[in-house]
Amino acid sequence: MAASTHTVTNQAPPLVGYDVFAADRALAEAVDRHVAPEVLDEARGELSELGRTAGSAQAQEWGTQANEFPPRLRTHDRYGNRIDEVEFHPSWHRLLGRAVSAGLVNAWGRPGGHVRRAAGFLVWTQAEAGHGCPLSMTHASVPALRTDPVLATEWEPRLTSTVYEEGLRPAALKGGVLFGMGMTEKQGGSDVRSNTTRAEPLAQDGEYVLTGHKWFCSAPMSDGFLVLAQAPAGLTCFLVPRVLEDGNRNVFRIQRLKDKLGNRSNASSEVEFEGTWARRVGEEGRGVRTIIGMVAATRLDCVLGSSALMRQAVAQAVHHTAYRSAFGGLLIDKPLMRNVLADLALESEAATTLGLRLAAAYDADTDEERAFLRLAVPAAKYWVTKRCTPVVAEALECLGGNGYVEESGMPRLLRESPLNSIWEGSGNVQALDVLRALQREPRALNAFLQEVGRARGADHRLDAAIKDLLTELADLDGIEARARRLVERMALVLQGSLLVRWAPPEVSDAFCASRLGGDRGSAFGTLPHTLPLAAVVERARAVA
């Protein structure tokens, strides 16, 4: 009888069938901290229900299918008529439908809405990240539309609906709608003031026709888009519906879909406007000011999206090493592997804690919190999204060769990881935005320093880092060339202050020692060996 060669041993089971929310202690504690007691039980119940779905085999299969069968562009029908449609795999629609029904497009006007939505976004996008794009833009379009009360009255109930309906129809006939965005053009990129798309006013006040080319237009099957174009008085924000009220399709010519490194499930396109009907949002010539609220909200979602990718990567790494044996024992118990896992867990928890603190500031909506957000959002967007790729890459390595194989899911996380650092303004744009706020809005710096100052005296390394930051802020010599260094320091000090106040001592101590005190090497896994690293790793473990 031939010996069997296919007995499988020493392989980790899939991380499936668990509550993604409840298993994330840092996230669950942040929700407890920031959501009012009278709605906390309701919020936790909703998030656990979403977390169980996100951790299910079904949702994970939807994520796999949405990426294995990416969207396809159909410019014409069989008869040669221009239709400009993008076809998606059914799993894309299932993911979007569950997200919309969970309220991930609506944080506005409900108690604790921003924290609840941020936590849900962080939970659900661990199942699949690409469909987070239309969710983010739909949610973020509300503050821009509120600059025009008539438009807000008409569109906000559709945008904040928990009903998802695919297909192109007049928005008034749908139970809920999604929005996209088209700001950048090929000659300008982040320099949107160099846009050349023209907007010509019609006889009816507030109506225009647009002519131009958008280099990046995300989620082109959305029901409407906020775009920037040059009107007679300057750069202006416009609402472009895909389908007009009479049922005819607006001129929205999809030239091609971008072939991207990651984010494969989501359609990013180039579009042509030629006599495209649009409605003005806000005043002529004030387009950047009108759309800035949308940009700030999507930047927060970049922080949350990167936090979700890091959390899922760390959860997979800890799970794998808890089952995989090598050199006489479980990998998770090996001192060197434990050091790597703990280092990754610190980065993940710091990102989650910061992201939920920013969401809580949106809920508070006071003058002080708005001033705090003005600096904290671009600083967090810069740093958290920058940390995502090295964290995911190191987590992948924890799985060894298994992590390099598509079936593990880790390569998809890795391809997705650089995205949020680029979208909504890359690193240099964020750093320059911080400098702009420091120069023009002194209240923002005061609010930021008050926030980090709440932890003063609790950790000597944090106190020293705050002192060094103040010295750096006072030195204006060569400030632009030093902007990245400054913003990195601001983000780390802010993360450290939050962890000192709210995280367990083993987490805050390790973070302050390594990130603020400099007691580490250049790679992950170089934390001081005397720290209680096993406790840090166990806190990060997702128990199925």
DSSP letter string, 363-374: HH--HHHHHHHH
Q: Return the amino acid letter for 88.
A: F
| Alpha helices (H) in 253-403, listed in sequence order | 287-323, 335-364, 367-398
**Number of other CB atoms surrounding residue 401 within 10 Å:** 8
467 burial via Cβ count (<10 Å: 0-12, 13-18, 19+) = exposed
Instruction: Give the β-pairing of 207-218 and 72-76.
Output: unpaired
Q: How far apart are CA 51 and CA 470, in angstroms?
A: 41
Side-chain half-sphere CA neighbours of 66 within 13 A? 28
In the chain, where does the domain assigned CATH 1.20.140.10 lie? Answer: 289-540
Please report the pLDDT score of residue 165 as a whole number: 97
Task: Report which of 238, 255, 285, 318 is spatially closest to residue 25, judged by C-alpha positions.
Answer: 318
Q: Tokens 């904040």 correspond to what residue?
A: 160
Q: What is the pLDDT of residue 1?
A: 57
Alpha-carbon span 63 to 56, nearest angstrom: 11
Query: Residue 10 and residue 13: Cα distance in Å, rounded?
Result: 9
Matching CATH number, 25-285, of 3.20.20.450, 1.20.120.80, 2.40.110.20, 2.40.50.140: 2.40.110.20
CATH of the structural domain 289-540, one choice from 1.20.140.10, 3.40.50.720, 3.20.20.140, 2.70.98.60:
1.20.140.10
The closest of 135, 108, 137 to 122, measured between CA atoms, is: 135
Digitized pLDDT (tens) for each residue of the chain, 544 residues in all = 566 788 899 999 999 999 999 999 999 999 999 999 999 999 999 999 999 999 999 999 999 999 999 999 999 999 999 999 999 999 999 999 999 999 999 999 889 999 999 999 999 999 999 999 999 999 999 999 999 999 999 999 999 999 999 999 999 999 999 999 998 898 877 788 788 999 999 999 999 999 999 999 989 999 999 999 999 999 999 999 999 999 999 999 999 999 999 999 999 999 999 999 999 999 999 999 998 888 899 999 999 999 999 999 999 999 999 999 999 999 999 999 999 999 999 999 999 999 999 999 999 999 999 999 999 999 999 999 999 999 999 999 999 999 999 999 999 999 999 999 999 999 999 999 999 999 999 999 999 999 999 999 999 999 999 999 999 999 888 899 999 999 999 999 999 999 999 999 999 999 999 999 999 999 999 999 999 999 999 999 998 6
- In the chain, CATH 2.40.110.20 covers 25-285
3-state secondary structure of 237: strand
Residue showing tokens 């059914």: 90
Residue 193 is predicted with a pLDDT of 79
Per-residue confidence (pLDDT) for residue 189, from 0 to 100:
74
Strand duo 207-218 + 198-201: pairing: antiparallel
CA dihedral over 157, 360, 182, 292, signed as positive or negative: positive
d(CA 241, CA 244): 6
Q: Are 209 and 278 within 8 A, CB to CB?
A: yes
